[in-house]
Amino acid sequence: MVADYPIEGWQQVIETNLSRVFYGMKYQIPAILESGGGSIVNIASILGAVGTRLSPAYVTAKHGLVGLTKAAALEYANQKIRVNSVGPGYIKTPMVTNVLNEETLKLAEGLHPIGRLGESKEVAELILWLASDKSSFVTGSYYPIDGGYLAQ
């Protein structure tokens, strides 16, 4: 609950999921400008588009990351830097499969209309496309990759 959320936890989550992305962009952008342009792809989450209970700091950080992406995209579009973000749903990673028991894993799969968790390689393919010249007219966008989670 928001009123019960520890201040230290808030600060740590915001620092990890928003501030560090800002710092990275702050120091990457001059080098990208010097090289003549490029692409930045930020990793948000489905929780960059919707809320959920009991995770106010994470939801706030991911919403902020989507906003930061849009602001940077507008600021640097005319300087040949494209900035986009992706919003993965629940992805089958060792962290997820090792932490969740079988019942909870089935519940997580059921949150996605496609009926399964995403794969890391699926997210990587989207990131590769956004980083490539094939997406040369794409900037300031947020791309959910979520098995239909946000369509509900």
pLDDT digits (tens, 9 = 90+) for 13-35: 999 999 999 999 999 999 999 99
pLDDT > 90? residue 100? no
* pLDDT of amino acid 11: 98
Q: Is residue 96 part of a domain?
A: yes
User: Does any domain span residue 152?
Assistant: no
Q: What percent of the chain has a predicted confidence (pLDDT) above 70?
A: 100
Structure tokens at 5: 């959320």
- Which band of pLDDT confidence, cut at 50, 70 and 90, is reported for residue 95? confident
Q: Tell me the two tokens of residue 95.
A: 């962290």
In a domain, 149, yes or no: no
Does residue 95 form part of some domain? yes
Active site residues: 58
Determine the average pLDDT of the residues in 64-72: 98
Residue 129 in any domain: the answer is: yes
Q: Is 51 a member of any domain?
A: yes
Yes or no: say if 143 and 126 are a contact pair by the CB < 8 Å rule. Answer: yes
Average pLDDT of the residues of the chain? 97
Write down the H helix ranges in the chain.
Answer: 7-14, 20-34, 56-76, 94-99, 102-110, 120-131
Q: 3-class SS at 131?
A: helix
Specify if 92 maps to a domain: yes
Exposure string for 86-100, b = 16+ CB within 10 A, e = fewer: bbbbbbbeeeeeeeb
Question: Which of the four pLDDT bands, split at 50, 70 and 90, describes residue 110?
Answer: very high
Domain limits at 107?
Answer: 2-144
Q: Please, which pLDDT band fits residue 97 given cuts at 50, 70 and 90?
A: confident
The pTM score is 0.94
- Would you state the pLDDT for residue 98? 87
Total domain count, the chain: 1
**Which neighbouring-strand residues pair with 83?**
40
Q: What would the mean pLDDT of 91-110 be, rounded to a whole number?
A: 91
Residue 91 lies in a domain: yes
CATH number for the domain that contains residue 110: 3.40.50.720
